[in-house]
Amino acid sequence: METKAISNALTLIPYGFYAVTSRDGEDRNVMVLNWLSQVSFEPQHIVIGLQNSSYTMNLIRKSGKFVVNIFDKDDANVVKQFTKSREKNPDKFGTANYTDGPVTSVPVLDEAAAYLEVEVEEIFDTGSGHSAVIGKVVGGGEAKEIKVQETLTMPDLGWSYAG
């Protein structure tokens, strides 16, 4: 199979579009992310594909925890405002409305429809600039009663971060 064909095939995976929050002490951050999957049932684990150079990775390495914020399609603009890196937009988290999570104390965004609190168990560096961060889901909740068809996804935005 050709490299281009592989890239094209990878772009056909319909990801969700999430905001990942992190915290070390009083330093809090938020980033947008689509590389996420559940990988086990009992206990429940998820994996995220995370850029090594991101500010988020720095905070996650220090604290060993993060939160996945899941949104309703109607709230796309809430997530979009966090697209730039902390480096390019140092005040990014300043615009976030949040409450610290009850289990991990990592921020949960007020507009999120649902959230997952995660404790990191393994970080596998792929050698490509991104790592697979595997964590156990230790908390979570729903603020809005939405169906999966209403969850904000990459296809909704017509954006791609794959290939």
Ligand X SMILES: Cc1cc2nc3c(=O)[nH]c(=O)nc-3n(C[C@H](O)[C@H](O)[C@H](O)COP(=O)(O)O)c2cc1C
- Where does this chain bind ligand X (CB under 6 A)? 29, 31-35, 49-51, 54-56, 83-86, 130, 159, 161
- We find the least distance from the C-beta atom of residue 84 to ligand X, in angstroms, to be 6
Give the Å distances, CA to CA, from 74 to 10, 87, 92, 144. 27, 28, 21, 12
**Nearer CB in complex with ligand X: 55/115:** 55
Per-residue tokens: 163: 């290939």
The span from the CA of 157 to the CA of 73, in Å, is 9
Per-residue tokens: 50: 């995370």
**Nearer CB in complex with ligand X: 102/129:** 129
- We find the least distance from the C-beta atom of residue 152 to ligand X, in angstroms, to be 11
Cβ-closest position to ligand X: 85
Please count the other Cβ atoms lying within 10 Å of the Cβ belonging to residue 84: 12
**Nearer CB in complex with ligand X: 1/160:** 160
- We find the least distance from the C-beta atom of residue 145 to ligand X, in angstroms, to be 26
**Nearer CB in complex with ligand X: 97/161:** 161
- Give residues with Cβ within 8 angstroms of 11, minimum separation 6: 160, 162, 163
